[in-house]
């Protein structure tokens, strides 16, 4: 998961409603705001803060769904396995504001598309605690003057989801952890240094494909009758990454955080039972 890089786009925050044992509306819509503090890219020693308007949209259809697992098309669904089409994205980077990239081209925002295999490994008898794993494989495209392919990315992870009880009733808590992998073309886009951009402090560098470090993420969300709130904290670690010796990698660990609130102002009159997933 790449949250603003990956998962941690505003979409991660706004598409995470609580599950319920009761029937739920086919769709819900709203609008809100998110505050994000994100590393400019994995390995940067700088970060940026964003205050952004965000949509809140949930759709619980048979094929197309937007819910707590993101926006996806469901290609195959079995009691323990599901194959989806998943979407992620990365933010643009202004190289002029980053000392390590000074004089280099800016990084365009990127769109990532690809299948995700989800395994529902176990859940408690009451359904409140769930363990699982996901294996996404996505093709990445830079959205500059055109839509150029920049490589392949994968973020397999183990996940824990808990619907709170007792003092945490009505809260939905989640955590995930896993390694990241990408091919040489993807790593080169972010961490390569061409000969024309070499300086005494920034040598020429060609990035290999392979291991990209690890990510861990925790999140909490709660749905009120007309409002939704959510937040996350993500930790990135680059020790052992194949591009770890790139001159563009300044820090080998970083934190990103976010908080969002949305007003839910509309929903369908038609309901569907929870468990359509």
In this predicted model, what pLDDT tens digit does every residue of 137-185 receive, in sequence order? Answer: 999 999 976 679 999 999 999 999 998 777 777 888 999 999 999 999 9
Q: Is 125 within a domain? A: yes
Contact present, 213 and 235 (Cβ < 8 Å): no
* Res 91: pLDDT: 80
Partners of 67 in the β-ladder: 70
Using CB atoms within 10 Å of the CB of residue 210, give its burial: 0 to 12 exposed, 13 to 18 middle, 19+ buried. Answer: middle
Q: Is 252 within a domain? A: yes
Dihedral of CA 145/35/241/106: which sign? positive
Count the domains in the chain. Answer: 1
Q: Is 196 within a domain? A: yes
* Res 137: pLDDT: 95
Residue 91 or residue 220, greater confidence:
220
* Res 223: pLDDT: 84
> Could you tell me the residue range of the domain that residue 178 belongs to?
10-273
Average pLDDT value for residue range 255-275:
84
Calpha distance 61→250 (Å, rounded)? 44
Residue 11 or residue 270, greater confidence:
270
CATH number at residue 133: 2.40.230
For residue 13, pLDDT over 70 is answered with no
Calpha distance 41→91 (Å, rounded)? 9
Contact present, 32 and 258 (Cβ < 8 Å): no
Paired tokens of 203: 């040598």
The SS3 of residue 226 is coil
- Residue identified by tokens 């670690």 is 237
* Res 86: pLDDT: 77
- Which range is least confidently modeled, 16-20, 65-69, 191-195, 198-202? 16-20
Calpha distance 108→59 (Å, rounded)? 30
Element (H, E) at 191: helix 184-191
- Which range is least confidently modeled, 227-231, 261-265, 266-270? 266-270
Residues 270, 12, 68: CA angle, nearest 5 degrees: 40
Average pLDDT value for residue range 98-124:
92
Confidence of residue 244 (pLDDT cuts 50, 70, 90): very high
Q: Is 1 within a domain? A: no
- Of all residues in the chain, the percent with pLDDT exceeding 90 is 56
Number of residues in the chain: 277
- Which range is least confidently modeled, 4-8, 20-24, 103-107? 4-8
Residue 3 or residue 127, greater confidence:
127
- Which range is least confidently modeled, 11-25, 59-73, 139-153? 11-25
For residue 194, pLDDT over 80 is answered with yes
Average pLDDT value for residue range 239-267:
95
Q: Is 182 within a domain? A: yes
For residue 243, pLDDT over 60 is answered with yes
Q: Is 223 within a domain? A: yes
**Phi-psi map region of 128: left, alpha, beta (phi>0 left; psi -120 to 50 alpha):** alpha
Paired tokens of 28: 């819900």
Paired tokens of 229: 């709130």
Q: Is 3 within a domain? A: no
Most confident of 1-5, 190-194, 272-276: 190-194
Contact present, 174 and 130 (Cβ < 8 Å): no
The SS3 of residue 101 is helix
Q: Is 138 within a domain? A: yes
């Amino acid at each position: 998961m790449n949250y603003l890089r990956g998962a941690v786009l505003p979409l991660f925050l706004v598409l995470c409603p609580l599950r319920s044992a009761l029937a739920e509306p086919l769709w819900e819509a709203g609008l809100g705001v998110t505050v994000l503090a994100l590393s400019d890219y994995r390995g940067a020693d700088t970060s940026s803060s964003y205050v952004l308007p965000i949509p809140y949209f949930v759709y619980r259809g048979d094929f197309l769904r937007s819910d707590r697992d993101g926006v996806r098309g469901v290609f195959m669904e079995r009691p323990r396995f599901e194959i989806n089409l998943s979407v992620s994205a990365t933010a643009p980077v202004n190289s002029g504001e980053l000392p390590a990239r000074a004089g280099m081209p800016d990084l365009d925002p990127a769109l990532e598309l690809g299948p995700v295999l989800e395994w529902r490994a176990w859940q408690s008898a009451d359904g409140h605690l769930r363990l699982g794993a996901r294996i996404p494989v996505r093709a990445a495209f830079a959205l500059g003057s055109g839509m150029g392919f920049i490589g392949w990315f994968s973020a397999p992870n183990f996940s824990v989801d808990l619907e709170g009880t007792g003092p945490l009733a009505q809260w939905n808590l989640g955590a995930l952890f896993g390694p990241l992998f990408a091919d040489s073309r993807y790593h080169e886009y972010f961490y390569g240094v061409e000969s024309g951009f070499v300086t005494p402090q920034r040598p020429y560098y060609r990035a290999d494909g392979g291991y990209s470090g690890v990510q861990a993420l925790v999140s909490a969300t709660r749905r009120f009758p007309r409002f939704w709130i959510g937040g996350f904290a993500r930790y990135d670690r680059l020790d052992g990454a194949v591009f770890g010796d790139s001159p563009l990698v300044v820090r080998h660990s970083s934190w990103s955080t976010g908080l969002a609130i949305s007003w839910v102002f509309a929903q369908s009159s038609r309901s569907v039972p929870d468990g359509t997933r």
